[in-house]
Amino acid sequence: MKIKFLLPLAILVLTASVPAQQQPKPAAPSASRRPALETARAARIDRLLRRYVDENRIAGAVALVMRDGRPVYERAVGWADKEAGRRMNPSTIFRIASQTKAFTSTAVLALVEEGKIGLTEPVGHFIPTFTRTTVAVRTASGVNIVPARRPITIQDLLTHTAGISYGTDEHVAALYEAKGLGPAAGNGWYTADKEEPICETMERLGTLPFVAQPGEAFVYGYNTDILGCVVEKASGMPLDEFVRTRITGPLGLKDTRFFVPPAERERLAAVYASGPDGLIVRAPEGSKGQGAYVDGPRKSFAGGAGLTSTAHDYARFLEMIRNGGALDGVRILAPRTVELMTTNQSGTLHSYASYLSPERTSTGLGFGFGFETVDRYGASGMAGVGAFGWGGAYGTTYQVDVKSRSVLVLMIQLMPNATDIQQKFNTLVYQALVD
């Protein structure tokens, strides 16, 4: 008993005799123990989402933030379908419209890596009607249709610098509508109700005049839908099959599809619209509202705006990109390819209306091969230099912030969208990053 008592005492005396500077220092809290978002500040995100629902400015939302590949914030608020009494939940499916472009751009770059597509290769090698294209030029006396000065390339399409719009521009709208495009396709980009494969639609598009010369302006339009057809031609398989076998399947994205299975229709959120007073009303059926994503003909796989997905699926896809093209042992792209995609490849051309004016200004934003890039801090709120992202017409939005190792995803269904919730969501996430 005496020995047992004296041993701890001896250890205590020896420890006390060590000079203070030699004493072992308490271990610093490991990064894994620190809160990924400061708790009180993250609560501000909750209040923002609930306020927009309570004020009837959105029906509901799913928000997801990942840091270092793990979810650190996930909320489902409000209604997936108010009239049906269906609550929003993390597994709710959303129409992601132009967020499809990131998947199609990834598909293109995968084929570039295989040597089946070249970045500077003319699109006419895959779609014959693009061999010689034309441009509609406004003049004092009307509109002149002139030949394009050079062929449109794959890189032009990836950066939206091919001069191709959605055909709703006043000086070409009638021509596009006559060919079942532009005003005849909802807001121009919608093809889910078409009975024809996407390549037939894009081959017809190639016969129409575009609105700017290749390489001279950033014009947002059918570019990535054309790339979807190029993927089909280069791979020998439909776009939906390529995306499933090469991207969503390997990554385990079970809810990212061009059309929702009829058995899962209750998982699809309803579309709402901002009214004149800013309050929401249910969007109509058809191309400018709910769309044919469940009961449609399932023949047109639009690479620019056709997919449906969940917040979790989309965040996992983005985490693969953030991680240099691989995730959980599955490699989709090489790191150098991802660097091309997420680096500004369009100079100062990135401006929605740049083709209407010869002026070129630097906004601090650029466009890579499928993503908008942040080249100057402050150009996109608090997003760091090197961040990249985009959004969709139904109100979905995302951003990958490389410096903070974060992925931000916000899913709503609101078209048109008169709110500022996307910008405020991003801001409140960033203000909660205090480590």
Catalytic positions, please?
Answer: 98
| Distance between CA atoms of residues 88 and 101, nearest Å | 25
Kindly give the pairing relationship between strand 209-210 and strand 60-67: unpaired
Burial class of residue 123 in the structure, from the number of CB atoms within 10 Å of its CB (0-12 exposed, 13-18 middle, 19+ buried)? buried
Torsion of CA 16, 20, 24, 30, to 10 degrees: 130
Torsion of CA 173, 174, 175, 177, to 10 degrees: 80
Closest to 304 measured CA to CA, from 243, 234, 236, 221: 221
